[in-house]
Structure 1
Amino acid sequence: MTKQAKTKNTSPAPCLAVLGTGSDVGKSVIAAALCRIFADRGLRVAPYKAQNMSNNSGVTPEGLEMGRAQIVQAEAAGIAPHVDMNPILLKPTSDVGSQVVLLGEAIGNQTAMDYHRKKVRLVRTANAALDRLRDRTDLVVMEGAGSCAEVNLMAHDIVNLPMADYADAPVILVGDIHRGGIFAQLVGTLECLPPHFRARVAGFIINRFRGDLRLFADGVQWIEEKTGLPVFGVVPWYDHIRIDPEDSVVIERPAAVSAPTDGMPAVAVIRTPHISNFTDFDPLKGVAGMSVHFLETPQDLAAFAAVILPGSKNTRFDLEWLNTSGWQSRIAAYRAGGGHITGICGGYQMMGLRVHDPDGLEGAPGTTDGLGLLPVETVLRAPKTTTVSRFSWDGIRGSGYEIHMGHTRLQGGRPLLTVTERNGIPVDDADGCTADHGRTIGSYMHGLFDTPALITRWLTEAGLTGMDVPADGGLEAKRQQYALLAEHVRQHVDVDRISELLKIENKKPINFIKKPT
C-alpha cells in the first residue's frame, strides 16, 4: 500500500460487503464504483476479496500475483494493488483442480477436497490480510463470490457472509435484472440465508436495467415492502464505459461469427477451454472501425485480419484441444494463406514446436507437439515467473506484466521484444519470437496492447494502416473509465444512505491526476 499507515490505537476501518445473487451479476463493477466514489470523498479505500477463482490475474508492483478484479478496484481507488486485497487466488487447471496462489505466490495444484482440508489455515491467512488492510485505510470494500446463498457450500464459504460476519460489515446484495427474475433473485437469496446472516443484509442494488426507470418504481416498492429492506439504487445498462470484467464467464459459449463481409476489419481470438487474461485484448475493441470476436467453434479464418491465441492456465490441454477440435487445420490454412497470427503467453507456447512438462505441472508428465507456427520450444518448470515489466518493440516503449511457468528457447527466428526492466530492476533481455517476415509473432508479455503506439505497430504488422487508435492507453485511460463508472453509479445509487451504514466522515477529495512516468 502506498498510503501512509494509520496511527496506532485507532479503530480498524469499517468494511462494506458487496455480495451477489449469482455469478456475473456485477459485484466487481459495483465494488469498483464504490471504491472510486468513496475515494473521491477523500477516504483511503482498499478493495478486498478473500478468495478469488479466476484465470484472469495480474502482478503487483512487488512482483506478486493476484486477481485482476481487485487490481481494477485498487486502480479505481487510486492506490497500488497489494496481495492483501486478494490473499487467496484459485486458478482452475481442470474441472476438479486449481493452482493455489497464496499471498501472491503459487503453492501448487490442489483438488477441491485437498483445498477444503486446509481451510483453517486459509481462513487465518484471509482474516489476517483483511486486518492489515483495515489498519491502514479508512474503508474496505469487500467483494463476494458467486451467489452468497449456496446452502451446500455455506459451511466452507470464506468469501461471502462468513467473511462479512468476521468484519462486522453491512451487506449490499446485488442482483442482475437483465437476466430476469430479479424478484426471485433477491427474495429467494434472503430466504436461503440463516437468520444471523440475513440480518446482516442492509439493502439491495439492482444492476443492468434497460428502459425507463420510472416503469420499475412499483417493482422497487414491492421489493422494499416484501423484504423490509431498502433498494439503494437501480443502475441502468451502459455501453459508454469499459471496465475489465472479472472472469471469462462473460465470453463463455461465444456465438458463431459469420466471416466479415462489410469491409470492416475483424480480429479473431480463439477461446480455448482454459483461457486466461482474456482482457489483454480489450484495448483492441477501442480501435474505431475494427471488431474483435472470441471464437470457440472451428471455422474458416480467411476473412479475419488477424488471429490471436490467448494465454492459458493449462497449455498442453488447450493445445490438444486445438488439435482434436479441428482448430489446428484451420489455423494452419490461415497461415498458409498469408494470415497474421499472434500468441500471448500460453498461446505463444502453443505456437512453438513442442511443450515439455517433465515435472507434471499441468497434469501427467510428458511432451505435446506444438502447432509449429514459431521456431521455439518450451519447458514448463517452477517457480512461476511473475513480473511487472518494461519493454520496447522496435524502439516503441511499453509496460506490461509476465505470468508463466517455464522457459521458451528460440530455435530460429528472432526475438520480438527487448525487455529493459523487471520488478523495478534494470535488465537487458529479450522476449518472444517473430517469424514469417512478421506475420507470425509470440510473446509472454501481457499488456502488449495497453500502449496506443504498440497497437498501431501491431496493426501495421497485420496490414492494417490508418486505423483510428485511441490516444490514451494504460492506467490513464482506465482512470477515465473509472471516473465515468463512478458518475454513472453515483447518479442512480443513494451513496449517502450507504455511507450512513458505515459511520464514516468524508475528507478532502483525492485528485486523480496523471502521475509522471
Structure 2
Amino acid sequence: MSEAPCIAAFGTGSDVGKSVVATALNRIFLNRGLRTAPFKAQNMSNNSGVTPEGLEMGRAQIVQAEAARIPPHVDMNPILLKPTTDVGCQVVLMGEAVANQTAVEYHTRKAHLFDTACRALDRLRSRFDVVVMEGAGSCAEVNLMAHDIVNFPMAEYADAPVILIADIHRGGVFAQLVGTLACLPPERRDRIAGFIVNRFRGDIRLFDDGVKWIEANTGKPVFGVLPWYTHIAIEAEDSVIIESPPTVLPGRGTRPAVAVIRIPHISNFTDFDPLSAVKGLDLFFIEKVQDLSGFAAVILPGSKNTRFDLEWLKTTGWSRRLAAYAEKDGHILGICGGYQLLGNRVYDPQGLEGVPGTTEGLGLLPVETTLMAPKTTTLSRFAWGDVQGTGYEIHMGRTDRIGGAPLFTILAQNGAAPANTEDGCISDGGRIMATYMHGLFDTPAVTRRWLDTIGLGRLDTGDTPAGPAARDREYDRLAEHFENHVDTEAILRLIRRSPPGNTAV
C-alpha cells in the first residue's frame, strides 16, 4: 500500500487559526469515511496532555486526535518544547522529557530531531488514509528558516499541499497573505495551494471584492472565509489568548465569579474550560494585582517554572493578597504547579528550574515539594469521597504532606494499580485545597462537588458541557461551520491526487 497523502495547515503568524482548521479537517475527513490523523513535528506549548501509554504530547494534537476519533499517540507530536525561561525550554522527545536546553543548544540537534519527526510521520502515513499536518507560527520567518523543521521542510518531505491561513480580525489580511508569499522562495510559494481567511466579523458578502483581489494578485484561490463564531468551544493551543487580562470587579452583579491567577509560566490553562461553561458562573483570568474579596474562589493553575512563578507572586504583591484572602476565609484551589506554589517550600537540589536551591512557598498548605526527575505522566482515575473522576498528571517532583489531609484517593494510573494511593492536600478548615490532577473539571460530578465546597452548590451543572463526549459534539459543530463557508471539495481534491490504494474518497 502506498503512503497516505498529507495536507498542511500553515499560518501567516501565531494564533491565526491553524489548530482550528486542522481540527476541522480531521473531523471532515473522518465524516467522509477516511482514517485520518493529525501531525505537528514540533510544538512549543506548556499546554500538554498524556497518551494512553503514559507519554506526553501537545494538547492541540490530542484535541485533533479526538476530532479524528482515535487515541492520541506521540507520533502525532514527536517533539514538544515547554518554555521554562525566555531563552530555554524543556525538550520532550517522543513523549519523554530528555533535556532542558537554550534555543542555541537546541538548534545544534536539529538534524537528529528532523529525522525523528520524519520517522514518526512515516509511521502515521503507513497506518492512516490521510494525515493533516499543522505548521508553527508564521511559515515565512526568514530569520528562522534555516532552523525550521515544522513548516516547509516537513511539507516538502511529505510532498504536502499547503493551505495558508490568515486572521482578518488582526487587520492587514491582504499584507499578511501577499507578504508571506513575498518572503518565500518560488518553490515554496508554488507549494501553497490556496488560502483560508479566518475570524471575519460582519456581513461576509462585504469581503467578496477582497477575495477577488487576493485571487487576482496571487494567482491562488481563497478556499473560504470563516466567520467569527461564539457557539463552538474548541480548546485553544496557545496561552496567547489569555495574555494581558484586565482587572475585573466581581461581586457587583448577580453572578458569582472565580479567578485564575495568570502566572508567567502558566500551563494547561484549558483545565478551566468546563468551569467557564457553568451557567450562572463567571470565570476570569487575572494578572495585575487586585483585591480578591469579591471572588467566590481563586485558582492557582499549573506552572512550568514553579520557583520563578513563586518569586513573581512575591515581588508583585500577589502573595500578600492571597494570604489576606485566605485569612478572610477565601477558598483557594491549586492544580499541579499551583499545588507546589501553595506549600511551605520548593526544593530543587538538581537545578531543574535554574540554580539549585530552595524557594519559600506561599505557606498556605502544609506541604513541601522536592523537584526531581523523572517526570510523572499518568492518566488517572480518582475518588473524592463518593465522587469518582478522571484526569492526568504531568509534573516533575514529589510533594509531601506534613499536615492537613489528602484530597483525592487514586484508584488507577495508566490502567494499573497506582504507585501512590493519595493525591493532594486539603487544609484543616477545608477552604484551601490542591491536587496534581489536570482535567478534573472534565467530570461534571467533580465540578459539582467543588462548587458545593465553595458555597456555589446552587448552580446548575446538570447539562454543563464537559469531557470527551461534549468535546465530540463541538467538533461536529466546527466541521459544520467549516463546510458552510469553505470549499471542502476543493480541499479534498488536493489529497485525491495520490490517494492510498485502499482509500475511497
TM range (shorter): over 0.9
1:278 corresponds to: 269
1:380 corresponds to: 371
**Of 127, 148, 154, which residue of structure 2 is paired with 1:136?**
127
Could you say what secondary structure the match of 1:372 adopts? coil
Q: Report the Cα offset of residue 395 of structure 1.
A: 1.6
Q: Report the Cα offset of residue 447 of structure 1.
A: 0.8
1:218-233 matches, within 5 Å, as: 218-233=209-224
Could you say what secondary structure the match of 2:312 adopts? helix
The residue type equivalent to 2:370 in the other structure is V
Write the distance in 2 (CA, Å) between the matches of 1:472 and 1:297. Answer: 30
Instruction: Tell me, yes or no, if the aligned pair for 1:57 and 1:68 is still in contact at 8 Å.
Output: yes
2:493 corresponds to: 500
1:240-319 matches, within 5 Å, as: 240-319=231-310
Are 2:398 and 1:394 aligned? no
Instruction: Tell me, yes or no, if the aligned pair for 2:42 and 2:149 is still in contact at 8 Å.
Output: yes
Runs of 4+ residues over 2 Å off in structure 1? 470-473, 504-509
Could you say what secondary structure the match of 2:143 adopts? coil
Q: Report the Cα offset of residue 471 of structure 1.
A: 4.5
Are 2:390 and 1:405 aligned? no
Q: Report the Cα offset of residue 468 of structure 1.
A: 2.0
Q: Report the Cα offset of residue 384 of structure 1.
A: 0.2
Q: Report the Cα offset of residue 257 of structure 1.
A: 1.4
1:443 corresponds to: 435
1:63-462 matches, within 5 Å, as: 63-427=54-418, 429-462=421-454
Write the distance in 2 (CA, Å) between the matches of 1:370 and 1:25. Answer: 38
Tell me the alpha carbon deviations over residues 199-247 of structure 1, each in whole angstroms, 9 at most, x when there is no partner.
1000000000111111110000000000010000000100011110001
Write the distance in 2 (CA, Å) between the matches of 1:468 and 1:186. Answer: 46
Q: Report the Cα offset of residue 466 of structure 1.
A: 1.5
Instruction: Tell me, yes or no, if the aligned pair for 1:41 and 1:507 is still in contact at 8 Å.
Output: no
Could you say what secondary structure the match of 2:137 adopts? coil
Instruction: Tell me, yes or no, if the aligned pair for 1:220 and 1:231 is still in contact at 8 Å.
Output: yes
Write the distance in 1 (CA, Å) between the matches of 2:365 and 2:153. Answer: 49
Write the distance in 2 (CA, Å) between the matches of 1:497 and 1:189. Answer: 22
Tell me the alpha carbon deviations over residues 316-340 of structure 1, each in whole angstroms, 9 at most, x when there is no partner.
0000100111000000111111110
Write the distance in 1 (CA, Å) between the matches of 2:122 and 2:339. Answer: 40
Q: Report the Cα offset of residue 370 of structure 1.
A: 0.6
The residue type equivalent to 1:374 in the other structure is L
The residue type equivalent to 2:277 in the other structure is G
1:20-35 matches, within 5 Å, as: 20-35=11-26
Could you say what secondary structure the match of 2:429 adopts? helix
Write the distance in 1 (CA, Å) between the matches of 2:495 and 2:344. Answer: 57
Are 2:457 and 1:465 aligned? yes
Q: Report the Cα offset of residue 472 of structure 1.
A: 4.6
Write the distance in 2 (CA, Å) between the matches of 1:87 and 1:507. Answer: 26
Q: TM-score, normalised by structure 1?
A: 0.95
1:5 corresponds to: none
Instruction: Tell me, yes or no, if the aligned pair for 1:341 and 1:440 is still in contact at 8 Å.
Output: yes
Instruction: Tell me, yes or no, if the aligned pair for 1:41 and 1:508 is still in contact at 8 Å.
Output: no
- Alignment RMSD: 1.2
The residue type equivalent to 1:234 in the other structure is V
Q: Report the Cα offset of residue 108 of structure 1.
A: 1.3
Write the distance in 2 (CA, Å) between the matches of 1:155 and 1:368. Answer: 39
Aligned length: 500
Tell me the alpha carbon deviations over residues 334-386 of structure 1, each in whole angstroms, 9 at most, x when there is no partner.
11111100000000001001000000001000001110111001000000000
Could you say what secondary structure the match of 1:144 adopts? strand
Alignment gaps of 5+ in structure 1: 1-9, 510-517
Q: TM-score, normalised by structure 2?
A: 0.98
Alignment gaps of 5+ in structure 2: none
Q: Report the Cα offset of residue 508 of structure 1.
A: 8.4
Work out the percentage of aligned pairs sharing the same amino acid.
67
Write the distance in 1 (CA, Å) between the matches of 2:109 and 2:457. Answer: 54
Instruction: Tell me, yes or no, if the aligned pair for 2:54 and 2:377 is still in contact at 8 Å.
Output: yes
The residue type equivalent to 2:217 in the other structure is K
The residue type equivalent to 1:452 in the other structure is P
